[in-house]
Amino acid sequence: MARVTPDPTFYPSPRSAMQAAPEHLAYVVVLNVGANGARKPDALVTVDVQPGSASYGKVVGRLDMPNVGDELHHFGWNACSSALCPYAPHPHIERRYLVVPGLRSSRIHVVDTHPDPRQPKLVKVIEPEEVARKTGYSRPHTSHCGPDGIYMSALGAPNGEGPGGVFVLDHESFEVQRAWEAERGPQYLAYDFWWHLVQDVLISSEWGTPSMVENGVNPELLLAGKYGHQLHIWDLRSRKHVQALDLGVEQQMALELRPAHDPTRSYGFVNSVVSLKDLSSSIWVWHRDNSTWRIQKVIEVPAVPVSAEQLPPALQPFGAVPPLVTDINLTLDDRFLYVSCWGSGEMRQYDVSDPFAPRLTATVPMGGIVERSRGLNGGPQMVEVSRDGNRVYVSNSLYAAWDAQFYPEGIKGWVAKMDASPAGGLEWDDKFFLEFEEGERPHQIHLEGGDASSDSYCFP
C-alpha cells in the first residue's frame, strides 16, 4: 500500500486537481429493496464515464455485498490529497480502497479497487459490534479521508438514540480506533462533517438520531422543530467543541457541508432541507468574523403550491411541493454551487464567486414529486462534480424509508449526467442515462481519482 513517491491522484492544490486528466470510471452505491419486496444485498457498481467508449454510461463492474439490509450510503476513499499536508504522517499511502458504510446495518465494508478498477473486491468487513465497542457509536453515515486517518460520522448510539458524532479508522489497517471528540459540549445530533485543515477547524452538522430518521420523517418531531438546525465548530487538534451556530429552530435538517476548497478561505455552504414557516429550502454560508464564526442565509428556494390530490399523503395537508434540497456540491475553483431539489425536481447551478451574493445561472428540470420532468420518477438527489467542473453526475434515491414517504409508488433508480459550461450553464447529456433494475436505487457517486467532494487541500 505504501509508495516510494506520492500517489499521482494526490494534488497539492485544487488548481492542480482541476488540471488533471478526466475520470474514466465512476463508483456508485446502490440500495437494493428487491423486486416485489424481496430484499437482496446492496451493491457497489462501476460505471464507464469515458465519452466515446463502447460502454459509455453503462455498468462495467459490480460488487454485491455479503449481507442483506445494509443501506449503503456515503462512502469515501481511504486516502486523498490531504495526505500532502505538511504535517501529514503518511504522505506515501495511496488512493486505493473505498470505505463503504451501511447506514442501516452499521456494517463497514472496505473495497479494493486494485488491480482492476472496473472490478473492485471486498477485502474487509467491520461488524457493528466492533464499531459500538470501540467508539460507542452506531449508524455510520459519512466517510472522509484525513491527513492522519479515515474519519467517519455516526448518527447515534447502538440503542438508536444519541449522541451522534465522529470516529476514526486507521487508513492502512482499517482498524477502528476511537471516538474522535475529546470535549463534546452541547452537540448531540450529527450528520455530516468537514474541515478547514489549515485553520485547524472541524465543522459538523445535524440530522437526527437513528430513532428519528429510520422510519421516515416523523411529523410530530418535524413540526416541533426537533430535527437538526445547528452547525458545530470544533478545534481540530484538541478535538474540543468551540461554538454552535444556530440556523433557527424553523430550519429543519442542516445537512451537507461544503467548505471552500481554497485552504486560505474560511467559509462554506450548508443546506437546510425544509422551513417550518413556508416549506422552502435554503442555503447558508458559515464564515469567520475575526475570532467568531457566523452563519447567514444566502439562497432560498420556495415551495410550489399544488392541489392536495397531486401530493403523496405526507404532503397533502400542506398543499405544496417543498423543494427538499437534500444535497449540494461546490466546484474546486469555489465558483459554482450545485443544489439538488429532490422534491420539486430540478438541479440548480449558482455562481457563488461572491459567496454572500449567489447568482442563479442554470436550472435543469428532472423528475419531481408532481412535475415528473422528462418522465422521470424521483428527483435529483446526490450530486457529484468532476475535478475540472465540467461534468455533473446525479442520482435519485435518498433513503429507503424517506423514498417511500415522498415517492410512495417507489423510486425507479437512475443516474444522469450534465455538461457544465465554464461560464455557467448546464446541458443534459442525452448519451448518458443509466437506469437500474427494479428495486435497485443508486445513492452516492464518487469518481476515479477524486472529485469535488472527495479531497481537501493544504495549498491554495
Q: What is the pLDDT of residues 44-62, one digit of tens each?
A: 999 999 999 999 999 999 9
d(CA 362, CA 383): 15
Q: Is residue 2 part of a domain?
A: no
Q: Is the dihedral of CA 379, 384, 386, 388 positive or negative?
A: positive
- pLDDT higher than 90, residue 87: no
Q: Which of 28-42, 107-121, 300-314, 402-416 has the lowest mean pLDDT?
A: 28-42
Q: Are 169 and 180 spatial neighbours (Cβ–Cβ below 8 Å)? A: no
Q: Is residue 452 part of a domain?
A: no
- pLDDT higher than 60, residue 459: yes
Look-up of cell digits 462533517: 193
Q: Are 243 and 293 spatial neighbours (Cβ–Cβ below 8 Å)? A: yes
Q: Is residue 458 part of a domain?
A: no
Rounded to an integer, the average pLDDT of 62-91 is: 93
Q: Is residue 158 part of a domain?
A: yes
- Residue 322 three-state SS: coil
d(CA 369, CA 319): 13
Rounded to an integer, the average pLDDT of 91-95 is: 88
Rounded to an integer, the average pLDDT of 151-177 is: 97
At 139, the pLDDT band (50, 70, 90 cuts) reads: very high
Q: Is residue 455 part of a domain?
A: no
Q: Are 73 and 108 spatial neighbours (Cβ–Cβ below 8 Å)? A: no
- pLDDT higher than 80, residue 2: no
β-strand partners of 249: none
Average pLDDT over the chain reads: 96
Least Cα distance to 143 among 173, 110, 116, 119 occurs for: 110
At 274, the pLDDT band (50, 70, 90 cuts) reads: very high
Q: Which is more confident, 39 or 75?
A: 75
Q: Phi/psi at 35 (nearest 5 deg)?
A: -75, 135
Q: Is residue 205 part of a domain?
A: yes
Q: Is residue 394 part of a domain?
A: yes
In terms of residue numbers, what domain contains 244?
Answer: 14-447
Residue 127 C-alpha cell reads as: 461488524
At 222, the pLDDT band (50, 70, 90 cuts) reads: very high
What confidence score (pLDDT) does residue 1 get? Answer: 55
What confidence score (pLDDT) does residue 160 get? Answer: 98
Tally of structural domains, the chain? 1
Q: Which of 31-40, 133-142, 265-274, 396-405 has the lowest mean pLDDT?
A: 31-40
- pLDDT higher than 70, residue 147: yes
What confidence score (pLDDT) does residue 88 get? Answer: 79
Q: Which is more confident, 216 or 37?
A: 216
SS in 3 state form for 32-70?
ECCHHHCCCEEEEEEEECCCCCCCCCCEEEEEEEEEECC
At 39, the pLDDT band (50, 70, 90 cuts) reads: confident
Distances in Å between the Cα of 263 and the Cα atoms of 14, 48, 161, 197, 334 are: 9, 32, 35, 7, 11
- pLDDT higher than 80, residue 3: no
Q: Is residue 460 part of a domain?
A: no
Report the CATH number at residue 24: 2.130.10.10
Distances in Å between the Cα of 127 and the Cα atoms of 47, 67, 452 are: 28, 11, 30
Encode pLDDT of 376-421 as tens digits: 999 999 999 999 999 999 999 999 999 999 999 999 999 999 999 9
- pLDDT higher than 80, residue 194: yes
Q: What is the chain's alpha carbon radius of gyration, rounded to the nearest angstrom?
A: 20
At 111, the pLDDT band (50, 70, 90 cuts) reads: very high
User: Which amino acid would we find at residue 178?
Assistant: R
Rounded to an integer, the average pLDDT of 162-179 is: 96
Q: Are 452 and 332 spatial neighbours (Cβ–Cβ below 8 Å)? A: yes
What confidence score (pLDDT) does residue 336 get? Answer: 99
- pLDDT higher than 70, residue 328: yes
Percentage of residues in the chain having pLDDT higher than 70: 99
What confidence score (pLDDT) does residue 171 get? Answer: 87
